[in-house]
Structure 1
Amino acid sequence: MNLFEELKWRGLIDNTTSPELEDAINNDSLTFYIGTDPTADSLHIGHYSSLLMAKRLEKHGHHPIMLVGGATGFIGDPKASGERSMLTPEVLEANYNALHKQIQALWGFQMVNNLDWIKKLSVIDFLRDYGKLFNVNYMINKETVKKRLDSGISYTEFSYMILQSIDFLHLYQTYNCRMQIGGQDQWGNITSGLELIRKVEGSDVKCFGLTMPLITKADGTKFGKSETGTVWLDGNKTSPYALYQFLFNTEDSKVIEYLKKLTFLSVEEIEELERKTKEDAGRREAQRALAEAVVKDLHGEKGLESALKITNALFRGNLQDLNEEERKDAIKDMEKIQAKAGQKLEDLMIETKVAKSKREAREWIKGNSIAINGIKVTDPNQIIDNADLFVENVLILRRGKKNSYCIELVEE
């Protein structure tokens, strides 16, 4: 299986602009670029497969350039739902610096900022040198623009296609960058860039575009910062433990797809995990392999060790083994149930609906089924107050082996 065939097997190729690209990927050494706008101070899990794509190609002798759009971030790529909110120059600069630091630390790619060349263009230069080369009929037939024609689109966002095309032309002229990679929603922008290169540099230039399928959840929605529950690549925004849990809870219907797209596990390793999933999905071996691989790649051995330590402590009830930071990570995404401090355990269990009645609460407590912060409690009349806190103002009440409740104590 050659490189291009493996990329197809992993589901990483949606479309290409030329059949010649397959041979170029397998046998050439291409300089290529992937771009993102600094609309947040961290990349998220939706970006991850394209960054790994860059790394896969780099390992086979190609050269990646990461473009963070300090200029295009001011404009906003058109989206189907409507106009984007404008970010201030200060926010964009802070986001750019954060992304630059993150990408350098994780992957070490060559970095460029399109503000460096876009800011030099006057309005007259923009309209004469580039606007003249774009046909409006051509632009409005691009999918991302066409979706907005009924609801309306500003000239600002309409011009985004031209700015991204200028990026491709500039990188070709400056670095001999011959390929752009983007999500499938970037097809129109990529082909516009190729058309601009052809018009400026001649039709004999060999440049390419490649789009990747967007990674989606089981319900068909895409991962992104505009969706609820964003999973960030920054460990301070999404901890290694939270990332581990997110991936470990992947649906069986998606886990093999994620293994192919989000890990460097070999074809043989993934096919073996697929076989095991079909035979015994309940063991969740594929999910465990996915979570361990991604957390380790992003946060190293130390991050994985922390994630596994918290996971095992919550699963086995060994909560006292966790330090304060690990305890904060453990409760961060747990649903909090409020209860009054200073009441009997049996009453607290009723208030929080852990038990339906005092009788049921007493049976569980005296039956050795209740633990507070991993320590068994056998007295229904024990007063639960701030001395019982696990971290901050919460405690973990565990019933049996599978039911844990994060209870937030409040004063009356």
Structure 2
Amino acid sequence: MTDILDDLAWRELIAQSTDLDELRALLAAGPVTLYCGFDPTAPSLHLGNLIQILLLRRFQQAGHRPIGLVGGATGLIGDPSGKSAERVLNSEETVAGWVRRIHGQISRFLDFGDAPESATMVSNLDWTGGLSVIEFLRDIGKHFPVNRMLARETVKTRLETGLSYTEFSYVLLQSMDYLELHRRYGCLLQTGGSDQWGNLTAGVDLIRRVEGASAHALTTPLLTKADGSKFGKTAGGETYWLDPELTSPYAFYQFWFNADDRDVEKFLKVFSFRSREEIEDLVKQGGDRPAARIPQRALAEEMTTLVHGADETDRAVAASRALFGQGALEELDERTLRSALAEVPRVEIPTGELPPVADLLASSGLCKSKSEARRAIAQGGAYLNNTKVAAEDAVPSADDLLHGRFLVLRRGKRNVGGVEVKRD
């Protein structure tokens, strides 16, 4: 056993704990079974969920037994935590489909088998699906004083805007999950984000009331970015997903590669599995040579490989290099090139005669006007498919189209744009 709590503390991954000293002693005594729950509120998990998935992985690598719970039941209800209004309830068929997808996503990060630390995956619909209302109220509801539930911050906040009995009861369901996993697997620790503290401690209290046993809760801080924007969101507020169909591996790679210098040390601590010494060395290299983006590159490669595999990482790296003139654009497969161009200013044009390069520079947004585009060409700062454009009136040919439909534009060293010819 390694002292995982010391490692988590250094990585700034501990926000709250029911009793850290008691938990430390429990973890040191032998393998501990722990769990974290993930509700299927979308067809994929996102970057915020990755913190909790990797926390389970860290505990497993330290010799403990993780349980990944997918909320086949709680996903039908909706957690009011952090929400200003009630969620739209999804159909049973939709939630069941999302459960299967999310089950597969979590499973990729954990090790299964016959070892003491082998992981388990469960759905809480397994023990709630056949439960009657009377059983639920008698066996679970009687242990939840209404005055204490009303005192919860989540409830107090939502009482002003409206809170249904459905959402009010969510904490009972999550607490019952902890009790059930305690009974079935001897689970003694539940983890989650700090916004889940009330739900986690309610489960600890339920186990104490029903079983007379001691259990633990541990939360991680909510991750924020130095510029004040939400972690895991694009500038436009879109979510970075773990599913490659929703967020391409190239876009995923670029998220990490473009991390602010003020954030990269924090991101390395929270997400990387590198040692303390390796992370401190990467941070030092970043401080000595900020333009080289050494820690960002290392983080991007590690995270993309972890989530999408080495082959997708190689494609993302090749695309990133090729777009900025450091590799052959012709060697990129169509899917990777399309994904890369989706992340830069681009313009779609109809099939037919191609416009002059100056027009494309302007319409893509790389230049403010056609006259500015012509000046960029005259000054030697405009490129088509990484080849310098020599004439102000240059027009691409059909042979220039990559995969028969794409052009890559560049102004200077760092400003990249794209053109896509619409197919009929």
Q: Which moved more, 1:310-319 or 1:227-236?
A: 227-236
Measured in 2, the distance between the counterparts of 1:237 and 1:325 equals: 13
Residue 61 of structure 2 corresponds to: 59
Q: SS of the counterpart of 1:211? A: strand
Measured in 2, the distance between the counterparts of 1:359 and 1:131 equals: 72
CA deviations on 1:39-85 (whole Å, 9 max, x unpaired) are 12221111112111111111121100000000000100003321111
CA deviations on 1:134-160 (whole Å, 9 max, x unpaired) are 111111222222221211211100000
Residue 214 of structure 1 corresponds to: 222
Q: SS of the counterpart of 2:106? A: helix
2:285 to 272, 276, 281: 276
Cα distance change on mapping 1:274 and 1:124 into 2, 3 Å? same
Residue 376 of structure 1 corresponds to: 388
Measured in 2, the distance between the counterparts of 1:355 and 1:70 equals: 50
Residue 43 of structure 1 corresponds to: 45
Structure 2 matches for 1:13-412, cutoff 5 A?
Answer: 13-18=14-19, 19-78=21-80, 79-108=82-111, 109-202=119-212, 205-223=213-231, 228-316=237-325, 318-338=328-348, 342-352=354-364, 354-355=366-367, 361-366=373-378, 368-384=380-396, 388-390=400-402, 393-408=405-420
Residue 8 of structure 1 corresponds to: 9
For residue 114 of structure 1, what is the amino acid of its counterpart?
Answer: N
For residue 95 of structure 1, what is the amino acid of its counterpart?
Answer: W
CA deviations on 1:94-140 (whole Å, 9 max, x unpaired) are 10111112222332431101001111211111112211111111112
Q: SS of the counterpart of 1:39? A: coil
8 Å Cα contact 2:345/2:365 also seen in 1? no
Measured in 1, the distance between the counterparts of 2:78 and 2:363 equals: 49
Cα distance change on mapping 1:342 and 1:71 into 2, 3 Å? same
Deviation at 1:373? 2.1
Root-mean-square deviation (CA, aligned residues, Å) is 2.5
Measured in 1, the distance between the counterparts of 2:272 and 2:232 equals: 19
Any gaps of 5 or more consecutive residues in structure 1?
Answer: none
Measured in 1, the distance between the counterparts of 2:11 and 2:324 equals: 33
Measured in 2, the distance between the counterparts of 1:353 and 1:241 equals: 22
Measured in 2, the distance between the counterparts of 1:398 and 1:297 equals: 31
Measured in 2, the distance between the counterparts of 1:241 and 1:255 equals: 19
8 Å Cα contact 1:182/1:212 also seen in 2? yes
8 Å Cα contact 1:165/1:194 also seen in 2? yes
TM-score of the aligned structures, taking structure 1 as reference length: 0.91
8 Å Cα contact 1:370/1:400 also seen in 2? yes
Cα distance change on mapping 1:353 and 1:215 into 2, 3 Å? closer
Cα distance change on mapping 1:75 and 1:347 into 2, 3 Å? closer
Residue 115 of structure 2 corresponds to: none
Q: Which moved more, 1:390-399 or 1:264-273?
A: 390-399
Measured in 2, the distance between the counterparts of 1:72 and 1:358 equals: 56
TM-score of the aligned structures, taking structure 2 as reference length: 0.89
8 Å Cα contact 2:272/2:303 also seen in 1? yes
Cα distance change on mapping 1:246 and 1:147 into 2, 3 Å? same
